[in-house]
A = this chain, B = another copy of it.
Amino acid sequence: MGDACRAVDDPVRNIRLTIEYDGTDYAGWQVQDNGRTLQGELEAALASLLREPVRITGSGRTDAGVHALAQVANFRTSSLVPLRGVLHGTNALLPRDITLRRAEVVPADFDSRRSALEKTYQYFVRRADTPSAFARRTSWWVRGAFDLAAAERAAALLEGTHDFGAFRAAGCDAAHSVRTVREVALVPRGDFLEVRVRGNGFLRHMVRIVVGTLVEVGQGRRSAASLTELLETGDRGRAGVTAPPHGLFLAEVRYDVAALESCP
C-alpha cells in the first residue's frame, strides 16, 4: 500500500471516506442537539487527528438505529497527514462501532450527496420460530408463514419511476415524491430474507415502509395487487407499517467520480 497511500501535491485535498457503522447506539447520521451521531463522532475523530475543525458531507442521512456497510462522506483539508494516516489514525480514534474502510483523494468538485448516482439498501427480515442472540441488532424477527411468491409479485410492482407518496414518512421534506426504483429484490438467505432496494433517491423512511408493506403481503395480510393502488393514490394511511430501523443497512452509494489516490 505504500505508494498508493502517499500525499498529493494540491495543498487542499478533497477526501472521500467509505464508512461502516453499527447504528444501534446512535441517534442517526446527522449532528443534532440530543444524542451521539455518526457525523459528530467522525468529525471529532478527524479534527483530533488533523488538528483542525472538520465538517463532513454525507451522501445522505440515516435514521437512528440504521446501519451502514458503505456510507460515503467527504471533507476538505489542508492537513498534510498522508492518506494512510487518515485511514488508520482515524480508526484508532473512532469508537469501535464506526470504522473507515477506505480513504480516497477525489477531485475538488466531488460532493458525496450531489454526486451520488444511485444508492442500494439492504434490509434483513429474519423468519424463524425462535429469536437469535446474534441477529437481534441487525434484523427484524418476523414469525409465522410467509408467501415469498406473493411478496415477489408485490416487489416487482414497485420497480420503475413512480410517485412514492404513500411510502413517505410524515415530516419528509423532499420537494416531490417521484423516484426511480431500479430494483426491489427478495433474496432468501437461510433464516433470513434480504430485501435489496436500489434507486436514484429515497424519501424519508421509504425503504422501511416498502419492507413493512412487503412483509404484510408475505404474511397474507394484504394482496400483492394492493401495491398498485398505493402507488396510484399516494395514501400513506393505506401502506404498511414502517419496518424497524435495526434491520436496515445502507449498502452502497454509486458515483462515477474516480479516486485520484486510494488507501487501501
Which residues of A come within 8 Å of B, CB atoms?
A: 1, 20-22, 67, 87-88, 91, 96-102, 129-134, 136, 138, 264
Contact = CB atoms under 8 A, between A and B. Distances in A.
B97 A20 contact: no
Nearest to A23: B133
Contacts of A102: 130
A99 B130 contact: yes
A29 to B, nearest CB: 14
A20 B138 contact: no
Nearest to A129: B264
A86 to B, nearest CB: 12
A264 B138 CA distance: 24
Given A88-B130, A99-B130, 7 more contacts: A20-B132, A20-B134, A96-B131, A97-B136, A99-B131, A100-B130, A134-B138
A193 B1 CA distance: 22
Nearest to A263: B129
Contacts of A87: 130
A1 B145 CA distance: 13
B22 A133 contact: yes
B264 A133 contact: no
Name the residue among A88, A99, A136 with the largest chain B CB count within 10 angstroms.
A99
